[in-house]
Structure 1
Amino acid sequence: MKRFLALTLVLLMLLAGCTKGNQETQTNVEKPAESGETVVETPAVVQEYTTVYSGEIATINYLVTATTAEFGLAANFVDTLIDYDRYGVPQPSLATNWNVSDDGLVWTFKLREGVKWVTHDGKEYAEVVAQDFVDAMKYILDSTKESQTANIAYQVIKNAELFYNGEISDFEQVGVKAIDKYTLEYTLEKPTPYFLSMLTYVCFFPANGQYLAEVGEKFGTDNVNFLYNGAYIMETFEPQNRRVLVANENYWDKENIHIKKIISIYNKEAATLAPELLLRGEVDYASIPSSIIDEWMKDSKKKDMIRPNRTGFYTYFYALNFDPQFPAEYEPENWKKAVNNLNFRKSFFHALDRKAAMLTAEPYDPEKRISNTITPKNFVDLDGVDYTQLGSLAKFANTDSFNESLAKEYRDKAMEELKGKVNFPVKVLMPYNTGSTEWANRAQVIEQQMENLLGTDYIDIIIDPKPPTGFLKEVRRSGNYAFLECNWGPDYADPETYTDPFTPSGTYNWPHLAEGYKEANGKNTYENMVNAAIAEVLDIELRYALFAEAEAFFIDQAFVIPYAVGGGGYSASRLNPFESPYSPFGVSAERFKGQKVMEKPMNTEQYEAELIKWEKERAEALKAAGK
């Protein structure tokens, strides 16, 4: 308790300079009207939004990062060619209009004139022009920059992969050109019907080439070495202290920017502190963890402040690492031998009780978030048939993989096949992010549940707490795990986006390293199946069918254990979730544009009513847009 109070006092001191003051707590003001009657005026809600966070960012260089926390910030600093409205309908942004050639290869965008790049102190630097998109792409396709999203760009733009790999050196041969000051042209390798949906992802952001040359490697290292053309400017950036965003007064669409200041306070105990700070009116958002949901639900005042969260299109799954890079004490070579055994993987696949795991996050309705596939339901469809119901994938989509008898059957087979080759119990290093209390609880649930089912003579799951700052780099990308909860968000409207992390150039340590799957061309079976699907660009029905078969194979071989979709849970927030831009892919959903701070948080009843209204309006908007 003393530690909790001390942390709270520290946070209160940090917040002292950025509280909402008397304006939030003023009583109604009486003013005499012209008629002589007294009119009671309610002060407007101060449009400032304050949160607390635990995981610090490493960069805001959107040209290299693929981390949501980092590009989510950048999404508020830099605009894209198009954006999405609150119904998910594409809208003009930096581009006012666009067209595509009859063969589907050349996309031409006319840029909005008069949009300004400004510095961190609001001073005009330059106008946003077509060349900015060319310069940004040249930076991304420079392999020495190690952009984590370069592959998304070079898989569609003509000659981009050749340039990235150094097979050509003349960037003029790459399919991105400034035709004139305000006309941008992309030439694609092949027709890509979903290309428009890719344009709100960071690899298609603009950047001023002159400025990139000026600041060099400092670009995006802080708020000063950065240019802004979007809704907000980062006025203050004090790592592990606070960030302050202020509305960009030079923004081309500033009448739609209602929140004037966004304050984020760092505290490593943010997940624990946020609910109490929200009750005190010191922050405007708190995720309400499952550990205190019952308490809030039973308290009439607290219950009136919380609402469900929409589920999203981030996919969560458990990854088994085929390239272990963890310390010797956890026996990485022993794990590598075990994980390359199909029966060993299938014992894990059928032993994981997803519902038990999900109860740590969704105690009231766990089923709404559980997912049996990598690609979530309702992401794309084919003539009204959901993608997850195509071909062999339907079997997995409609079947819970948790099966105690099958798990034990595969365990016994694995132990027999690995006798004398692998030391049992196999040590299974399973890190988790300490920034999430639910993740910490879930790790313990999974450890106990799987060890109880499979036996401690078979596996020894070692849960390993890791700090939130740098977790992605230090754990997942470094291969510092055996078994890990991971996630992936879609970047564009096509099943291909959910294959991106699993390719040899992706961010996971498999499946191309798995033994026994190499085919005549030197590539593994899954990679060949995905490449066949990628190559089909004209027959969408066949394209989707090929991707579905590749995903079914991937799951069947237990390279991954699908777990859940993102979102869900409960929160208390003074933002209306139905005002924010809506899109399953790209960065639009990270933007604060269009949102207003409400007087008090939305409750569940209000949320349900607004959701019904929004779904009806969205269906009408999509129909009107021809979607």
Structure 2
Amino acid sequence: MKKTFLIICLMLSMFVVSCGKGGKGSGNSVSFNMEAEPTSLDPQILTDMSGLFVTSMTYESLVRLNEKNEIIPAGAESWTKSDDGKVWTFKIRQGMKWSNGDPVTSKDYYNGIKRGIEPKTASEYAFLAYYIENAEDYNTGKLKDFGKVGIKAKDDYTLEFRLSQPAPFFLKTLIMPIYFPVNEKALATNGDGYATEAKKSIYNGPFIIEKWVHNNKVVMKKNPNYWNAKNIKVDTLTGLIVTDFEAATNLFENRELDLTKISVEKMANYEGKPELHKFPNGRVYYLGFNTSNPVLKNQKVREALSLAIDRKELVSSILNGAGIVGSGIVSNGTAGEKGDFRAEAGDLFAGFAKVNAKQLFDEGLKELKMTPAQVKLHLLVDENGTGKKEAEFYQSQWKDKLGIDVDVEVLTKKERIARAKAGDFEIVRYAWGPDYADPMTYLEIFHSKAKDINFAKYSNPEYDELIDLAKVNQDNKTRMDAMKKAEKLLANNFTYSTLYYEVGVYLINPKLKGVVIRSVGDSIDFYNASITK
């Protein structure tokens, strides 16, 4: 019965806290734990979940996801697609305003996308716009004239995208911040400081950022100028930055938080209580190996380090069951050809079950003319959640099974991300949550053109070719077959190695209704939230 329920949850890929009438539109405040300081609150620059939580509530994208993870109109009230799938035309909703009273027009969305692919912006998500005609050439500096890029504000309320090739999932990518609008006046006024503080931007979403206390909290107030303000029931939304889930659990118990992930140690205390909610959230955790390191350049060494980790013990003992053993980079709950992609692609590690990790490790070191005593490696993790406990587990596994000592450095999440992107690591524990509902959201980040997001610099022309095919082919079977082959190539190389898929364990105030927790894009959505007194 439990297994059946888990499969259903995975296929739904989202959880809704049952709606109630709740809140009356005045004095309604909700606080949640966003866990880490945002790397940025600039939509075209941010890359982390904390930034996405905030900007999805403060900017209005062209489209949004509803409680069923379906694309619905938002900044665009309607759209059409040409018969060949290359031209998308969006009608911008008239009457929308920025928080300073300026009208929101198609030019604002045009400005946002232009800024996102400007080379000087250095947006790590620029690759999402490469489906647009000439966007890649403009982003990489091959093309200087933005007028040749396939995006046009045809009039104040009509925005057109011309794609270089049909992209079956293009509409799904528009929920991402790189497509969010930019007000030219706010950008010009704030210059390099744009969106670095609460008052250094203006907003067109359901909320306005009132206060950003770095490394402490972000306070958002309901935006009276928002086009759908009458249906936004929360007046104040506060994201606290609490990296320690034990501390966050205490804040929840003291009624200072309405929603937070819970520490795995305290999970048992809430079993059977209405506050506890478990949800397979699509987030994949994996190790990245820096192949420029003289030891890690050897594939046998990377493979041995990966296979030495008992993932079943990791999930059961360290995560207290709040995870699913990873069997590929694409998480369960992602649609494939006919059903679940993960089920169709299978367990990519099954073929390594009988491999002797120590023997493989010794073979790799022999090729490098090294002994175990000469191996000096360093693991980066962040302080969030189970990061420290996992690091200790990996250390013990490598010591017991391979005979090596690996140093561990515990950083803030922001520092860990920055170090990974700078290539300043040897081994790093990383995580990725799906941006949109397609296996491509997991796989395209390992394309050689993905720049800093492909932080371990995996590069394989065959992999790139398969991903490029899957991006544009209109036949679902052909697309899925290409992605399955690509994922297997990635797994067999061991530059990246999957550990587990996260099962988010949350404490939610029973009085908080209408919150959507999903595995795609903004994982905690307060758009329809309300709280009873």
Pair 1:446-2:394 in alignment: yes
Amino acid aligned to 1:87: K
Q: Distance in 1 between matches of 2:456 and 2:241?
A: 34
Q: 1:141 to 1:170 in 2, by over 3 A?
A: same
Return the offset for 1:414: 1.7
Pair 1:394-2:346 in alignment: yes
Aligned pairs for 1:151-170 within 5 A: 151-153=127-129, 155-170=130-145
Q: Is the 8 A contact 2:291 2:495 kept in 1?
A: no
Pair 1:463-2:408 in alignment: yes
Pair 1:272-2:243 in alignment: no
Q: 1:540 to 1:435 in 2, by over 3 A?
A: closer
Pair 1:497-2:408 in alignment: no
Which one of 308, 325, 330 corresponds to residue 351 of structure 1? 308
SS in 2 for 1:76: helix
Which one of 352, 357, 373 corresponds to residue 424 of structure 1? 373
Aligned pairs for 1:49-198 within 5 A: 49-51=30-32, 55-118=36-99, 123-124=100-101, 126-153=102-129, 155-198=130-173
Q: 1:95 to 1:276 in 2, by over 3 A?
A: same
SS in 2 for 1:569: strand
Q: Distance in 1 between matches of 2:37 and 2:484?
A: 37
Amino acid aligned to 2:329: I
Return the offset for 1:179: 1.1
Return the offset for 1:358: 2.2
Amino acid aligned to 1:74: T
Return the offset for 1:110: 0.8
SS in 1 for 2:373: coil
Return the offset for 1:443: 0.9
Deviations 1:136-162 (A, max 9, x none): 111112111111211111x20001111
Q: Distance in 1 between matches of 2:207 and 2:62?
A: 17
Aligned pairs for 1:506-517 within 5 A: 506=451, 507-512=453-458
Amino acid aligned to 2:394: I
SS in 1 for 2:369: coil
SS in 2 for 1:70: helix
Q: Distance in 2 between matches of 1:540 and 1:356?
A: 36
Q: 1:378 to 1:591 in 2, by over 3 A?
A: closer
Amino acid aligned to 1:369: I
Paired residue total: 509
Q: Distance in 2 between matches of 1:139 and 1:220?
A: 14
Amino acid aligned to 1:145: T
Pair 1:260-2:235 in alignment: yes
Q: Is the 8 A contact 1:352 1:402 kept in 2?
A: no
Which one of 571, 575, 592 corresponds to residue 526 of structure 2? 592
Match of 2:432 in 1: 488
Match of 1:559 in 2: 495
Return the offset for 1:47: 2.1
Q: Distance in 1 between matches of 2:319 and 2:107?
A: 47
Q: Is the 8 A contact 1:371 1:562 kept in 2?
A: yes
Q: Distance in 2 between matches of 1:448 and 1:466?
A: 20
Pair 1:435-2:358 in alignment: no
Q: 1:225 to 1:561 in 2, by over 3 A?
A: same
TM-score, length basis structure 2: 0.88
Match of 1:531 in 2: 468
Query: Does 1 or 2 have the higher relative contact order (CA < 8 Å, sep 6+)?
Result: 2
407-416 or 216-225: bigger deviation: 407-416
Q: Is the 8 A contact 2:33 2:261 kept in 1?
A: no
Amino acid aligned to 2:167: T
Amino acid aligned to 1:510: A
Amino acid aligned to 1:318: L
Q: Is the 8 A contact 2:283 2:431 kept in 1?
A: yes
SS in 1 for 2:266: helix
Gaps of 5+ in 2: 1-22
Return the offset for 1:401: 5.4
Q: Is the 8 A contact 1:354 1:402 kept in 2?
A: no
Aligned pairs for 1:570-581 within 5 A: 570-574=506-510, 579-581=514-516
Return the offset for 1:433: 1.3
Q: Is the 8 A contact 2:252 2:507 kept in 1?
A: no
Return the offset for 1:389: 4.4
Q: Is the 8 A contact 2:436 2:521 kept in 1?
A: yes
Deviations 1:109-145 (A, max 9, x none): 1111100001xxxx42x11111111111111121111
Deviations 1:544-595 (A, max 9, x none): 1111111101101222211222343343444757x334654333x4431101
Q: Which has the larger radius of gyration?
A: 1
Pair 1:224-2:199 in alignment: yes
Q: Is the 8 A contact 2:380 2:416 kept in 1?
A: no
SS in 2 for 1:200: coil
Amino acid aligned to 1:96: E
Which one of 463, 475, 479 corresponds to residue 423 of structure 2? 479
Q: Is the 8 A contact 1:109 1:184 kept in 2?
A: yes
SS in 2 for 1:443: helix
Amino acid aligned to 2:409: D
TM-score, length basis structure 1: 0.76
Which one of 291, 313, 336 corresponds to residue 381 of structure 1? 336
Q: Distance in 2 between matches of 1:441 and 1:584?
A: 24
Amino acid aligned to 2:520: F
For the aligned residue pairs, the C-alpha RMSD in angstroms reads 2.6
Q: Is the 8 A contact 1:237 1:243 kept in 2?
A: yes
- Identity over aligned pairs, percent: 23
Q: Is the 8 A contact 2:248 2:260 kept in 1?
A: yes
Q: Distance in 1 between matches of 2:379 and 2:122?
A: 28
Return the offset for 1:101: 0.3
Q: 1:193 to 1:49 in 2, by over 3 A?
A: same
Amino acid aligned to 2:325: I
